[in-house]
Amino acid sequence: MRLFPLVSLRLVSLRDPVSEPPVRVVRHEDGYLVRSELPGYSPEDLEVESHGQTLRLQGRRMLEGRVDGASTAEFVRAIELPEDAALGEASATLRHGVLTLRVPLKPSARPREVPVTSA
């Protein structure tokens, strides 16, 4: 008898190349930019939530022209952002298959200019 390791797989992950989309997070002077390529998804297919300092991206869409029984594709990704990210002020757009989230810095973490006066 051959034993296989216990692995949790969703059938869609074997058929859909976007089942675990890559996510890129870049910090800029004014906040964070989070990007993920999601070809074939529309804004109605996506859900973005924040819990504490975690962004949760979820997508579900119908696959067209499938005859093998797998009629939907879905994914869930969670991204932990640093404490200086103001997730409550985040905005998200989907353009040409690329989801872009802009997460500003909390006011206390934003750079501010300190005026210099003569003594």
CATH fold of the domain at 11-105: Immunoglobulin-like (2.60.40)
pTM equals 0.74
How far is residue 8 from each of residues 5, 41, 105, measured CA to CA in Å? 10, 24, 36
pLDDT band at 119 (very low <50, low <70, confident <90, very high): confident
**How far is 109 from 30, CA to CA, in rounded Å?**
9
Give the tens place of pLDDT for each residue, 35-87.
999 998 999 999 999 999 999 999 998 877 656 656 788 899 999 999 999 99
Alpha-carbon distance values, 100 to 5, 7, 56, 58, 112 (Å): 37, 31, 13, 14, 26
User: What does the alpha-carbon distance between residue 90 and residue 49 come to, in Å, rounded to a whole number?
Assistant: 10
Q: What is each CA distance from 46 to 28, 43, 91, 112, in whole angstroms?
A: 25, 5, 13, 35
Q: What are phi and psi of 57, to 5 degrees?
A: -105, 130
- The CA-CA-CA angle for residues 93, 97, 98, to 5°, reads 50
User: What value does the mean pLDDT take over residues 3-27?
Assistant: 58
| Each residue's pLDDT tens digit, 84-102 | 999 999 999 999 999 999 9
